[in-house]
Amino acid sequence: MLSASRPLPPNLNRIVQRFQQIAEPKRRYEYLLWFAKRVPELSEVEQIAANQVSGCVSQVYITAEVREHSVTFRAASDAQITKGLVGLLIEGFNGLPPNEILQLTPNFIQQTGLDVSLTPSRSNGFYNIFRFMQRKVVAILTANTSSLN
């Protein structure tokens, strides 16, 4: 697990710092919705049960791919706030090595101030999305390891 003294990856750190500069909750939501617009989209064919995040009120689908030791996520969601949360995570995680993603904890959301603005169901959804993305990375690493044997 990532300790409090260990810095966040650069992209994620920039996102957290930007949220910290925004005092108004409405502006935080606007910034979150900006991430929703930037989500690398999934085709309908990829929106299958294996890519669906369970425990979210919204429909959320996420894929992950590892190339040259870095992870790339893509996603789809039927709700803009949730899509913004996914987009925030994608912006913060894409390009990181798998082991770095697996060492992260979702506690950085508290540093953004979003945790106090989100409804309990959206907050729970954020944690489910975060863990789902980590499980996707584990699944890829496991598949790659077993294919080498």
* pLDDT tens-digit profile, the chain (149 residues): 444 446 899 999 999 999 999 999 899 999 999 999 999 989 999 999 999 999 888 999 999 999 989 999 999 999 999 999 999 999 999 999 999 999 999 999 999 998 888 888 889 999 999 999 999 999 998 887 665 54
Choose the catalytic residue: 15, 16, 36, 56.
Answer: 56
Cβ distance 40 to 75 under 8 Å?
yes
What is d(CA 18, CA 22) in angstroms, rounded to the nearest whole number? Answer: 7
The answer to whether position 2 is within a domain reads no
pLDDT at 147: 53
Cβ distance 93 to 8 under 8 Å?
no
CATH number at residue 21: 3.90.1010.10
The answer to whether position 1 is within a domain reads no
Range of the domain at 117: 10-144
Residues ≥6 apart with Cβ < 8 Å to 137: 64, 66, 71, 98, 101, 102
pLDDT at 2: 41
Tokens of 85: 């949360």
Q: 55 catalytic, yes or no?
A: no
The answer to whether position 149 is within a domain reads no
Cβ distance 107 to 19 under 8 Å?
no
The answer to whether position 122 is within a domain reads yes
pLDDT at 70: 95
Structural domain tally of the chain? Answer: 1
User: Cα–Cα distances in Å, from 13 out to 21, 38, 76, 91?
Assistant: 13, 18, 24, 11
The answer to whether position 5 is within a domain reads no
What is d(CA 19, CA 24) in angstroms, rounded to the nearest whole number? Answer: 10
| Predicted structure pTM score | 0.91
The answer to whether position 93 is within a domain reads yes
What is d(CA 147, CA 7) in angstroms, rounded to the nearest whole number? Answer: 33
